[in-house]
Amino acid sequence: MQLEHKLLGCKVSPVDSYNHAYRMVVQFSRDPEQCSYLTVNNAHTLVVAARDTEYRRIINESTLSLADGRPLSLLMKWSGMDEIARIFGATLLEKTIDWGQQDGLRHFFFGSRPETLDRMRAVIEQRFPRAVITGMVAPPFEQFSEQQNIDFFQQINAARADIVWVSLGAPKQERWVYENLHRLQGGILIPIGAGFDYLAGNLRHAPQWMKNFALEWLFRLWQEPHRLAKRYLIGNTLFIYYVLAEKLGWKKFD
């Protein structure tokens, strides 16, 4: 595997396909020596990281830092990282559940809302009947207390999951994973953003041509204008500015 490159001070791992990502997830999820986490990054998370050194550290200390956004994978290719592909978190979730049927992967789902988890369970049981769901928890929306975190991980560890999928929204989910990794007794934590909503059918995937032209953000904005307008219209502008500033030497994000 090639060396990891950095964009806005954040490492991007050279993962060239979903199959490659899946094999690495399985490897890390069953590592008897240590528990781990990965991050799935896009323009939004990199803008947050560019302005927050602690969040940047969370990304850089992850076992894998995947290029979820199409702009990230394109920029990395233009920078000389040939062996890289866009790994969309929602698609990685579905493929891991599907391929994991043969490998006996055990899944735990943490986050989102009860009704979304119920829909997702129904979809998984219909589409992936041999998938193993060891537990689902929809936590309170507000910040969790220390005791709540202890209780959550008692459930997670008792379930003996290989993969704990976390859907709390970025950057909250990555911070929660990082701060609580020490409580995990086995497996891997994967913050997956809107992956639960896609699998449950709450969100639709963009047409392939929009994905090819890095316009998936526009399709998401059309589906959730009130929630995502600020993130995309301001965040994407900042992302372009920060990338140009880094390339031209105006800013450093180390």
pLDDT tens-digit series, residues 34-90: 999 999 999 999 999 999 999 999 999 999 999 997 888 888 877 777 788 999 999
| Helix/strand/coil percentages in the chain, nearest 5 | 55, 15, 30
Strand partners, 100: none
- Token digits of residue 41: 């990054």
CA distance 90 to 102: 20
The Cα–Cα gap between 239 and 20 comes to: 27
Q: How far apart are CA 22 and CA 97, in angstroms?
A: 10
Q: pLDDT value at position 229? A: 74
First-to-final CA distance of the chain: 23
**Segments of the chain with pLDDT less than 70:** 1-3, 212-214
Could you read off the pLDDT of 178-194 as tens digits, one per residue?
Answer: 999 999 999 999 999 99
Which regions of the chain does DSSP assign to beta strands (E)? 5-7, 10-12, 36-41, 64-67, 106-111, 132-137, 163-167, 188-191
Determine the pLDDT at residue 102.
97
Virtual CA dihedral for 199, 169, 81, 54, nearest 10 degrees? -160
What is the CB-side half-sphere exposure of residue 206 using CA atoms within 13 A?
Answer: 20
Rounded-to-integer distance, Cα 245 and Cα 180, Å:
34
Topology adopted by domain 31-200: Rossmann fold (3.40.50)
Structure confidence at residue 213 (pLDDT): 67
Contact at 8 Å (CB) between 183 and 150?
yes
**Where along the chain do its domains lie?**
31-200, 208-247
| Predicted local distance difference test score (pLDDT) of residue 69 | 77
Q: What angle do CA 165, 13, 152 make, to 5 degrees?
A: 20
Sign of CA dihedral 139, 142, 146, 148: negative
Residue 78 phi/psi, 5-degree rounding, is -65, -25
